[in-house]
Structure 1
Amino acid sequence: MSDLKTSLREIFGFESFREGQEQTIQQLLQGQSSLAIFPTGSGKSLCYQLAALHLPKLTLVVSPLLALIKDQVDFLHSKGIAAASIDSTQGFEAQRQTIDGIRRGEIKILMVSVERFKNERFRSFIESIELSLLVVDEAHCISEWGHNFRPDYLKLPAYQKELNIPMVLLLTATATRKVKEDMCKKFAIAQNHMVQTGFYRSNLDLAVVPTSQSHKLARLLESVQGNSGAGIVYVTLQHTANEVGQYLREQGINAVSYHAGLPTEARLRIQDQFMQSEDQTVVATIAFGMGVDKANIRYVIHYDLPKSIENYSQEIGRAGRDGQASKCITLANLDGLNTVENFVYGDTPELTGIEKVIQIIQAETHGDQWEMQINTLSSSSNIRQLPLKTLLVHLEMQGVIQAKFSYYADLRYKFLVNEADILARFQGERKSFLQAVFQTGSKKRIWCEPNFKQLKQAYGAERGRAVTALEYLHENAWINLESKKITDVYQVNVARASEAHLASDLSEYFLSKEKSEIQRIANLVKFFEGEACLSKALAQHFDDAQVTSNCGHCSVCRGEIAKLRYSQKVSSPSLEDLKEFLPQLQQK
């Protein structure tokens, strides 16, 4: 215990633990997988950061956003902790330095996105490394009953077993009882190793303000002017972020617009400016926030309705992390509901699309193997990529297909040192093998492409060994290895794929999920229009029984019961809004 307290004080600068942190860390140091459910801004990350310093091997952290990974790595570096990430934005040299540091045991924490596990080069590397802990941030993404289900997260329990990682730590701020039970079951976490702190935050004033569309800008300006300090205004669409940001600037407000349509450099610049500012207002889509750990955000305003109660809880949780009084205001009407509901319907594959996927699997299976590229399959079946990935996961769960491995359809390399000099570094069979790799491939002017079929015929070696060898040469800066067009390889149960009721069963699942998502929207409206204390109702939604009395500082407690209305006649969303809103649904 004294070692933990010393690390907490000397490295992180805290004199004491927040609620739940010490219990979670102690469980990990005793070898017990854990689930930690703390409100946004309550110190979830410290649980793995401090534990990692006292664990013998590497801690591998899976995080959903590059911005969040960057923020966490920068924070750890500021504390003198050896942490790194591997992601698609990095160049050859940066990744090589990270890999070398991990092999030498100098790096304690590695952060990656879940998609990184599909990279055969990364899998080849990480399988050779001893790991102490797998951390899954935003772990509610693993549950189909959560508000932000991501199919790739379903593979994480299998990855934990394949990589022989002894423990897992799941972190989330938003989990209903059903989601908690689902997460614990998937990772075999005992109920007594689930640590949940209260959701109630006494410094947040929650207000729902019924506002017609024509009065929104004026009411927003009034709200911003009535609150000093830095703040976030959340909107649904990118063009709304631009228009509202411009309006506020014209009124003399230090405001900037932020959304996924901006160049990466611009988004990073805005984020850095906001972290340093005392009075800036960021008008943003949900693309903004998860990578921002700013303590003194004085207000969060929802210009448009959030997507769900879970999203609302996450977004208002970014206010007042310093414990000081902060405002959370929702300018509410029903105008945007039709658009949100239409995107739920658009995420539900039609029966004909599901049948098309099954037909493609049957037609393209050779022996018992099927190879698939997601872009091509999405176009052929007319199913968007996110629901298509969900469909493939359910085909796995029903025993129709089984994911075997992923590879890049296109691999190429160029020599950074002379080929003969590379071969001179090896002897015997290893040298003969590398010669075969080089000789069976095709050589262009600069780049060379390995030919795995010819290699197997000439030398009897499998693709995996060749990729591992090329990766080793890449790590040592003797070649530069590039890869693209990821291809997923599945083993197919042909008999199961031929069952007549398969497509209809899957269609029923998606229709039930659609119904659940529509109900989630209805629950959001019911929450905002409710007569119960907003703070208490929010806690109860997340299975928190600690809040037993009204808060006294929300609009309901002030006697301001909201009744939401449409500002105008309901119409279908425009084609422009549809095109713009689709990427927003993928941001989290």
Structure 2
Amino acid sequence: AEAAESAEAAAAAAPASDLVPAVAEGAAEVPPPKAPEAYTPEDLTHLLRHTFGHEHFRPGQQEAMSSVLAGRKTLLLLSTGSGKSLCYQLPAYVLREEGLTLVVSPLVSLMADQLQRLPSCLRGAVVSGQQTREQSKAVMKAVRARLVDVLFISPERLSMWSFDGCGLPPIALACIDEAHCVSEWSHNFRPDYLRMHEFLLDSLGARRLLALTATATRPTIKSVCEILCIDDVVRSDRSFTMQELLEEPAQPRVQRTNLSMDVRSCRDEQAQTQEVLSILRSPQACRHSAIIYVWRRVTADHMAKRLNGLLRGGVKSYHSSMLPDQRRQIQDAFMSGLVRVVVATMAFGMGLDKPDIRTVLHLGMPKSIENYIQETGRCSRDGAPGRCIALVSSADFKSMRWMESAKGGSGAQVGGVRRLLRMLLLGEGSEKKGPVQRHDFSDEAMAKEERFAAVPRDADGQPSWRPFHAAFEERDMEEALAMPRDEIHSALAHFALRARGVVRLHSRFPTRLKLRFFGQSTAAELAEIDPLLRQVLPMTKRVGPVHSLETSKALAAMGGEPGQLSNALWQAQGREFQLEKADCGYMLTVAQPVQEEQVEAWAEELSAINARARRNAIEKLDAAYIALSRAADA
């Protein structure tokens, strides 16, 4: 029976699209010869040669693997094309009997590329928002059956899973790719990355942590280490603690020696276009793949259309406004050689591993030195000579600076953040029906958690204040604040980090659970024999065979962790009823009394983030322009 179930799960993991390939064959069934922390450099080298087919480690690889297998939270800083992926692949092979390796990656295209390049000794899969419900269910069935060794997911999907674990097996290793996205000082900040430590280690119980990046300044490294509680920082030359790295006077070279870097000053767009044609028609570049980076989507479309009839091999544009399928088709055509040149914004290229891109052009200014390093890092990853040429103009710089200065920090945003926190923490607007549903903890719920034993009580022994859940649906809060969802999400991610210990945020929280009864027994009859249903059903609203449960209300009455209720109902379902998660929102658990002065201080701090991010972006743009202009004049 077990063999049949495993075969069924393996069949379910078969691809419905090429983004979800069948789990790869070839993973050995022999358990590791020793405990992971006991692996010596010689053991790792033996695996490298005989299982992964490489003769030697590159600088920094073995040190990072040893640190991870020893259970130390590790940040690996290696330049693009230096083999960061192997640093989770080989440990994943060592740990495959212990549990799953979960790789958090910011882009679907990057996940697909990493999956295609996974060695045959590892079984891999992707779960992404671009899959159908059936595709995701098929992959998760294989994951739960322990038929997947490495699973690639987005940070947004991870935030959903942190609610109840989604039935994942033990996580032996969590790897955060492009870890600079954790830091608000980074050029690619992502709000959900702020909470990676909470999601991976606190909620999902990951046993080891590895963070990878190629482009991080010292402020970014410091921020990443603090947020992820990093123990060791590994570089190509040696290992550090965070403090040792920050005090280190020497900085290693961040670009590979096989790349030539050139900067040319151009008067206007016409001069830039002529330079592009001259470069890409030259004998050195005319037969090889190339990327042209621009800073505006409209420029990408316009330039691709203009160059398409002038260059051999085909020219396509690529930017974030395109549909996912369209972006994927263009990337696949570029990777396979059907398209020679792509004109793209910074949305193209993070983690792109096409080894024979011989030319990377910047048509205008990169947004920062970090962007420039990351984008030029796509060039000649196979070690052959490559050219990186920036065509800069003062007009581009002035336009970019003006646009960066106009971003974010408006009075409306400041007011929106303040209203959001006052609604959640002080109950503002509760006298009329607003977007927030607040539910105080019952005595039963408080008794289940030791931290609430010290809640102040009055002379009658009753709590003078009760912890509470405040929940809302995304669309309702968006309408109430006239504030985009991504700004609400970013504000709450920053708030959860700064108010840790006072509040706990559950993102992409199912604000309602639906129990759909379809068996021969009625809901009331099932409640007589099931104590959980007996407790839950009186709190539901019934419409036909469907009973809807307000999740935060039930949790405030019953107590316990949010995932416990969902998992208990999931396990109880069967032939008589089915559980569905409905409506996506947030729930904030407030564990300590909060005064109005503290709310105002938090609102001021959060409101300052936009202004700080804007100043930071302008300073980075200025630094990039000064550096590249001086190089052009040299």
Give TM-score scaled by structure 2 length: 0.73
Deviating more after overlay: 14-23 vs 464-473: 464-473
Partner of residue 316, structure 2: 256
Partner of residue 102, structure 1: 143
Count of aligned pairs: 526
Alignment partners' CA distance in 1, 2:469 and 2:233: 42
- The superposition leaves residues 38-73 of structure 1 with CA deviations (integer Å, 9 ceiling, x where unpaired) of 111211111001111102222221111111112222
Partner of residue 57, structure 1: 99
Over 3 Å counting, the alpha-carbon distance change for 1:511 and 1:259 in structure 2 is: closer
Query: Is 2:527–2:533's contact at 8 Å kept on the other side of the alignment?
Result: no
Q: Secondary structure at the match of 2:172?
A: strand
Alignment partners' CA distance in 1, 2:575 and 2:174: 27
Alignment partners' CA distance in 2, 1:428 and 1:442: 15
Query: Is 1:35–1:195's contact at 8 Å kept on the other side of the alignment?
Result: no
Which residue of 485, 506, 517 maps to 1:405? 506
Partner of residue 310, structure 1: 370
Q: Secondary structure at the match of 1:451?
A: strand
Partner of residue 328, structure 2: 268
Partner of residue 236, structure 1: 295
- The superposition leaves residues 412-452 of structure 1 with CA deviations (integer Å, 9 ceiling, x where unpaired) of 5768xx534999xx99987464588689766768x845234
Equivalent residue letter for 2:88: Y
Partner of residue 276, structure 2: 220
Which residue of 260, 263, 271 maps to 1:205? 260
Partner of residue 31, structure 1: 71
Q: Secondary structure at the match of 1:450?
A: strand
Identity %: 28
- The superposition leaves residues 150-169 of structure 1 with CA deviations (integer Å, 9 ceiling, x where unpaired) of 22212112232343323211
- The superposition leaves residues 108-154 of structure 1 with CA deviations (integer Å, 9 ceiling, x where unpaired) of 222221112332x5531357632222211111111222222222212
Over 3 Å counting, the alpha-carbon distance change for 1:141 and 1:60 in structure 2 is: same
Over 3 Å counting, the alpha-carbon distance change for 1:127 and 1:96 in structure 2 is: closer
Partner of residue 182, structure 1: 223
Partner of residue 395, structure 1: 495
Query: Is 2:79–2:254's contact at 8 Å kept on the other side of the alignment?
Result: yes
Partner of residue 348, structure 1: 408
Q: Secondary structure at the match of 1:123?
A: coil
Alignment partners' CA distance in 2, 1:264 and 1:473: 38
Partner of residue 114, structure 2: 72
In the TM superposition, what are the counterparts of 1:147-546 in structure 2 within 5 Å?
A: 147-159=187-199, 160-191=201-232, 193=234, 198-211=253-266, 212-226=268-282, 227=285, 228-253=287-312, 254-277=314-337, 280-290=340-350, 292-351=352-411, 353-363=413-423, 365=427, 366=438, 368-374=468-474, 376-377=476-477, 380-381=480-481, 385-399=485-499, 402-406=503-507, 407-409=509-511, 411-412=513-514, 419-420=519-520, 431=530, 433=532, 448=546, 450-452=548-550, 464-469=563-568, 471-472=570-571, 479=578, 481=580, 483-491=582-590, 493-496=593-596, 503-531=603-631
Over 3 Å counting, the alpha-carbon distance change for 1:183 and 1:194 in structure 2 is: farther
Shift of 1:85: 2.6
Equivalent residue letter for 1:50: L
Alignment partners' CA distance in 2, 1:353 and 1:75: 43
Query: Is 1:350–1:507's contact at 8 Å kept on the other side of the alignment?
Result: no
Over 3 Å counting, the alpha-carbon distance change for 1:453 and 1:246 in structure 2 is: closer
- The superposition leaves residues 163-193 of structure 1 with CA deviations (integer Å, 9 ceiling, x where unpaired) of 3323211100111122222222333323565
Alignment partners' CA distance in 1, 2:355 and 2:577: 46
Residue 116 of structure 1 pairs with residue 171 of structure 2: no
Alignment partners' CA distance in 2, 1:287 and 1:302: 14
Equivalent residue letter for 1:494: V
Query: Is 2:262–2:389's contact at 8 Å kept on the other side of the alignment?
Result: yes
Query: Is 1:114–1:153's contact at 8 Å kept on the other side of the alignment?
Result: yes
Shift of 1:336: 2.8
Alignment partners' CA distance in 1, 2:405 and 2:373: 24
Over 3 Å counting, the alpha-carbon distance change for 1:245 and 1:519 in structure 2 is: same
Over 3 Å counting, the alpha-carbon distance change for 1:453 and 1:140 in structure 2 is: closer
Gaps of 5+ in 2: 1-40, 238-251, 428-437, 441-467
Alignment partners' CA distance in 2, 1:188 and 1:493: 27
Over 3 Å counting, the alpha-carbon distance change for 1:520 and 1:123 in structure 2 is: same
Alignment partners' CA distance in 1, 2:574 and 2:274: 57
Over 3 Å counting, the alpha-carbon distance change for 1:278 and 1:11 in structure 2 is: farther
| Larger RCO: 1 or 2 (CA < 8 Å, sep 6+) | 1
Equivalent residue letter for 1:409: T
Query: Is 1:37–1:173's contact at 8 Å kept on the other side of the alignment?
Result: yes
Alignment partners' CA distance in 2, 1:84 and 1:216: 43
Query: Is 1:299–1:328's contact at 8 Å kept on the other side of the alignment?
Result: yes
Query: Is 1:209–1:330's contact at 8 Å kept on the other side of the alignment?
Result: yes
Partner of residue 48, structure 2: 8
Alignment partners' CA distance in 1, 2:633 and 2:574: 62
Over 3 Å counting, the alpha-carbon distance change for 1:452 and 1:484 in structure 2 is: closer
Shift of 1:469: 4.4
Alignment partners' CA distance in 1, 2:603 and 2:218: 30
Alignment partners' CA distance in 1, 2:109 and 2:316: 18
Over 3 Å counting, the alpha-carbon distance change for 1:47 and 1:316 in structure 2 is: same
Shift of 1:471: 4.2
Query: Is 1:302–1:329's contact at 8 Å kept on the other side of the alignment?
Result: yes
Shift of 1:382: 5.4
Equivalent residue letter for 2:503: Q
Gaps of 5+ in 1: 532-559, 563-588
